[in-house]
Each structure stands twice: as C-alpha cells, then as structure tokens.
Amino acid sequence: MWPPGWSVEHVVETGSTNSDLLAAAAAGAPDRSVLFTDHQHAGRGRLDRTWTAPPGTNLLVSILFRAPPHDPGELTRRVGLAAIDGVNASTGVSAVLKWPNDVLVDDSKLAGILAQRGPGGEVVVGLGLNVGWAPEGAARLGDDVRPADVLCAVLAAYDELPADIDGRYREALSTLHRRVRIELPGGDEVVGSAVDIDDEGRLVVLDECAITHRLSVGDVVHLRSA
C-alpha cells in the first residue's frame, strides 16, 4: 500500500518515533525510513513541549533523511507541503502552513512538525497530525479517516514536490502578508507585518517602527489587521 521507495514500519506504542528513528539511523536504517505508531508517550513538539494523543486516533510519524539539503530546514518545509497536499488528496480538506512548522485548517492547528539532526548529519522529521482527536481549539480530519491512509497520501505527495519548492511554500504560507506577533525565546516579542521568507527560511517581519527583523525561531500569533 505504500508508495515505492519508502521503508515503512508500524509499531503499536513507543516513547518517541523521532528518538527511535534516530537510534535506527545510527544502527544503519536506510534513507527514507518511516516509523509510525498508534501511541507515543514521550512525544515532543517545538521548544521541548510535551505532545500526546489518545492511542490509535492520530497520525504520529517520523521520516529519516540521510542526505539532507544544505539547508536542513527545507526538509521541514517539504514535509509541511506534503502534509497539506496529502490531507487534501485523502480527505478533500484544504489546509495551509503557518511559519515555522504548523499545518492549519480554518486558522486552527491540524499538525505540527519537528526536525532533529543526528550525529552523522542525518535528519529525522516528525509529523503529528490530528486525525480522529484534537485538543480544544485545534482541528482534526474526522472519525472516518484512517491515519495510515493519510500517511500513504503524504508520502506520495512528498515524491511529487518539485525540486524548487520556494514558490509553493510561499503560496501555502498563511503567515505572509499578515499582521503578526512573534514570541521569541526568553520572553521578547516582535509585532509587525510578515513580508517574506528569505533564502534560509527565516521569516522577515517589518515591525511597527519600520525595522526589519529576520527570525529563525519563534511562536507566531496571527493578529487581526489594525
């Protein structure tokens, strides 16, 4: 059932698919290895936040890339685009991206993405996508959708992405051309207009004093226009 070129393994339960796949990479797992589970009890999101869902309800998956591009962040962007294309192909739901690594439906979070680099330079990209369950305020695909079917569509969509994804990414990124508040590590914040993504994947924000900021990390809040 899986698209050719992917080595897919399923486990009923684990601590973290990202951690497991990083360990598997060290043991010689091939490029484009995929591990998904019904339940993980030590899953993590960005900034080391705990991430969990009831068993069997959502898509919890990690993908190993042994030869990442010069900018490893491109893999996160590619997986994000594959997620929105795969969701649309398998369910008809239209999703968009939110910088730096969220998938949204109607401005509510559907999925999050976390990339981690291994000691050998390999990169594992994890995707947690709400299928049958979502926390309060988040989006989900519905009770009649199988996580494995969504995964199959996501992998197929990844293979169909063009070599240059910059244009696609900008089109899919709902953060651009909006007023935003960026909450930075340490408690600082930047408020302004998100005007572009630079060549390194950083969000370019023009603040209310007409100062340009190029941000590589931060939590984005989409604001209503003043």
Mean pLDDT of the chain: 93
DSSP state of 42: S
Average pLDDT over residues 177-186: 94
pLDDT (0 to 100) of residue 47: 46
Average pLDDT over residues 43-69: 79
Residue 51 has pLDDT above 80, yes or no: no
pLDDT (0 to 100) of residue 53: 76
In contact, 97 and 172? CB cutoff 8 Å: yes
Which amino acid belongs to residue 215? Answer: L
pLDDT (0 to 100) of residue 43: 55
Residue 11 has pLDDT above 50, yes or no: yes
Cα radius of gyration rounded to whole Å, the chain: 17
Residues 95-111 pLDDT 10s: 999 999 999 999 999 99
Which H or E element spans position 193?
strand 189-197
Which H or E element spans position 198?
none
